[in-house]
Amino acid sequence: MVNNDGNNQKTILIVDDEQPIVDILVYNLKKEGYKTLEANDGLTAVDIALNKNPDLILLDIMLPKMDGLTVCKKIRSKYNVPILMLTAKDEEIDKILGLELGADDYITKPFSVRELMARIKANLRKSEIKSEQFNNKNEQSKDENKIIAIGDLVLDLEKIEAKVKGKIIDLTLREFEVLKYLAMQNGQVVTREKLLEAVWGYEYYGDIRTVDVTVRRIRGKIEKDTSAPKILATKRGIGYYIKTEQSEN
C-alpha cells in the first residue's frame, strides 16, 4: 500500500456511468492509499473537477449528459490536471489522442488493475516533477541554458513554450515534453519504447501507439507538410529524432 498521509495523499476523480466499475476502482485506489471522488455523468464530472481540483482524472468516453471528449476539453481549458481516458474501443485511440483535448494517456477496457495502477502512478509522478520544476525555477542558476534552438525550432524550457520560425506553437505539456526530450538528444534517434519510458514514465506498461499518435499530433502543428517533415523525422522501424539541419519548412 502507498503510505500517503496528510497533504501528500493524492485524490483521483473517477468518471464512469457504470457503478460496478466505479466501485472496483474506488476499492483498489483506496487500497493503494489514494483518496477518490466519483461522477457518473459528464456535467457532474466537470463541476467536481473544477471545484475539487483532483490530482488525476480517470475519464470514460461514453457518458450521459456530456461525453468524455467534451468533458476533457472543458476541464483542460481551465485546469491543468493529468487525464487518463478510459475506452472500450481500441479503434478510438486516434480520436482520443488526436483531437486537441490534452488527454495525457488512455487505457482500453477491459484492463487489469495492475496496469491501471502503473499508469496512474506514472502520470502522477510526471505531474509532480513538472510542479517541482515550476516551483523551483526561481532558484535555478541564471547561467543554466533554458533555451534549446535547433534550426527553426526553439524551445523555452522555463516558459514551456515552443516556436517554429518565431511563431508560438500551441502544444500540450505532453507534446512539449516529447519535443524537449528529442531535442536534447542532439539529433540521435530515440526508440518509441525509450520515449514511452522517458516522457510517459512507464517502461513495462503502455502502448507504443501512444507515441506514434502524439508525434502525428505534434507534426500537425509544427510541420508545413506532415508527409515530408523537416523538423520531427522518423527513422523507419526504429523511432524519431529532431533534424539538426532543417531545410526550408
Domain finish residue from 136, 169, 202 = 136
End-to-end CA distance of the chain: 51
pLDDT in tens, 81-112: 889 888 876 656 655 664 556 677 888 888 88
Q: What's the CA gap between 26 and 203, in Å, rounded?
A: 25
Q: The CATH number of the domain where 51 resides is what?
A: 3.40.50.2300
* Same domain flag for 156 and 194: yes
Cell of 36: 477518490
Model pTM score: 0.64
Could you give the dihedral angle defined by the CA atoms of residues 145, 146, 149 and 155, in that order, rounded to the nearest 10 degrees? 170
The pairing of strands 161-164 and 153-156 is antiparallel
Domain limits for position 12? 7-136
Q: What's the CA gap between 31 and 39, in Å, rounded?
A: 20
Instruction: Tally the domains of the chain.
Output: 2
* Same domain flag for 52 and 120: yes
pLDDT in tens, 14-72: 999 999 999 999 999 999 999 999 999 999 999 999 999 999 999 998 899 998 888 98
Domain finish residue from 136, 161, 194 = 136
In the block, cell 522518423 appears at: 234
Q: What's the CA gap between 148 and 150, in Å, rounded?
A: 7
Cell of 80: 491543468
